């Protein structure tokens, strides 16, 4: 059964005090959502977030991880380190990682493999740039991003995968994809999974939309049949806005 999921990507925002304040506000609003709710604070605040949310239904995710267990990778964080602070979910392939840290399909494939080996849940992000869409290449770009990093996994691995379609032109720009554009792409993605795996897997995988989702536009996006939730950046930093988005995903 497909799940409704709303995940908040806090990016490089919120120091320890701000993390605690936002978590306290979210805990107060927690009971109002039926969707699975996930927040992804910055690495240094994952332990604190994990402790604070230990008895809560809100899950904590990391925004990235390395593919190795340990070793000479200055500045990196491994899956086992994340798990040791209670984090079992990781966002991989975010467009900012692809753009500013040169993460490509091959590297992401290695990260996917590691996360699966460690039994972690993966929120796998992908999406086209405006220049791709403007020349009609958006389906092709999305297909190759998904195929190259994910389509080697086994059928049973799909229970650990959440897909997140995030058109790059919509991230942090205020220019949200229309519900029709998002629905069209999500249907394409689901069909891609069906063609390469089977209809049980394609029907069960949750496909989130991300890109300037707000408390105002969330209802019309989340009412679309193929949109199973949202990956939220900016609006996840404001408790009332994030809670409204979580409530809309039912
Ligand atoms: C994101 O960073 O994943 C994102 C969707 O950001 P925003 O909601 O701010 O566009």
Q: What's the pLDDT score for residue 37?
A: 97
Burial code (b: 16+ CB inside 10 Å, e: under 16) for 191-211 equals ebbeeebeeebbeebbbbbbb
Cβ 233 under 6 angstroms from ligand 1 = yes
Please check whether residue 205 is in contact with residue 160, taking contact to mean a CB–CB distance below 8 angstroms.
Answer: no
Q: What's the pLDDT score for residue 137?
A: 98
Percentage of the residues of the chain whose pLDDT score is greater than 90: 97
Q: For residue range 191-217, what is the model confidence (pLDDT) as tens digits? A: 999 999 999 999 999 999 999 999 999
Cβ 172 under 6 angstroms from ligand 1 = yes
Q: What's the pLDDT score for residue 201?
A: 98
pLDDT (average), residues 97-107: 97
Cβ 208 under 6 angstroms from ligand 1 = no
- Res. 33: pLDDT tops 90: no
Cβ 171 under 6 angstroms from ligand 1 = yes
Distance of CA 107 to the CA centre of its chain: 17
Active site residues: 94, 166
> For ligand 1, atom 6, which residue shows the shortest CA distance?
233
CA gap 241, 250 in Å, rounded: 16
pLDDT (average), residues 210-228: 97
pLDDT (average), residues 178-202: 98
Q: What's the pLDDT score for residue 55?
A: 93
Please check whether residue 61 is in contact with residue 6, taking contact to mean a CB–CB distance below 8 angstroms.
Answer: no
pTM over 0.85: yes
pLDDT (average), residues 91-107: 98
39 in helix, strand or coil?
strand
Q: Give 10-15 contacts, CB < 8 A, sequence gap 24+.
A: 10/39, 10/40, 10/41, 10/42, 10/63, 10/236, 10/237, 11/42, 11/63, 11/96, 11/233, 12/42, 13/42, 13/237, 14/41, 14/42, 14/45, 14/237, 15/45
- Determine the distance separating the centroid of ligand 1 and the alpha carbon of 37, expressed in angstroms: 16
pLDDT (average), residues 99-117: 98
Q: How confident is the prediction for the chain on average, in pLDDT?
A: 97
pLDDT (average), residues 74-82: 98
What contacts 76, CB < 8 A, 6 or more positions away?
Answer: 65, 66, 68
Q: What's the pLDDT score for residue 26?
A: 96
- Res. 119: pLDDT tops 90: yes
Confidence of residue 175 (pLDDT cuts 50, 70, 90): very high
Both structure tokens of 207:
């496909």
- Res. 32: pLDDT tops 90: no
- Determine the distance separating the centroid of ligand 1 and the alpha carbon of 181, expressed in angstroms: 17
Q: Write the CA distances from 245 to 1, 231, 248, integer angstroms.
A: 21, 10, 5
């Amino acid at each position: 059964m497909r799940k409704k999921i709303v995940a908040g990507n806090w990016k490089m925002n919120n120091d320890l005090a701000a993390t605690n304040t936002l978590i306290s506000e979210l805990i107060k609003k927690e009971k109002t959502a039926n969707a699975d709710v996930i927040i992804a604070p910055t690495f240094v605040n994952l332990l604190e977030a994990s402790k604070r949310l230990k008895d809560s239904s809100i899950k904590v995710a990391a925004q990235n991880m390395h593919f190795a267990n340990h070793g000479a990778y200055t500045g990196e964080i491994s899956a086992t380190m994340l798990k040791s602070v209670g984090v079992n979910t990781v966002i991989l392939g975010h467009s900012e990682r692809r753009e500013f840290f040169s993460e490509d399909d091959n590297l992401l494939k290695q990260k996917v493999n590691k996360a699966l080996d460690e039994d972690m849940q993966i929120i796998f992000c992908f999406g086209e740039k405006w220049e791709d869409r403007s020349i009609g290449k958006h389906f092709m770009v999305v297909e190759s991003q998904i195929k190259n990093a994910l389509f080697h996994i086994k059928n049973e691995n799909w229970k650990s995968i959440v897909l997140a379609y995030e058109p790059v032109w919509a991230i942090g720009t205020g220019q949200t994809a229309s519900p029709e554009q998002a629905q069209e792409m999500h249907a394409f993605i689901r069909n891609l999974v069906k063609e390469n795996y089977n209809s049980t897997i394609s029907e069960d995988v949750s496909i989130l939309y991300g890109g300037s989702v707000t408390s105002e536009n969330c209802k019309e996006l989340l009412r679309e049949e193929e949109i199973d939730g949202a990956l939220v950046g900016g609006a996840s930093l404001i408790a009332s806005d994030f809670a409204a988005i979580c409530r809309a995903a039912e």
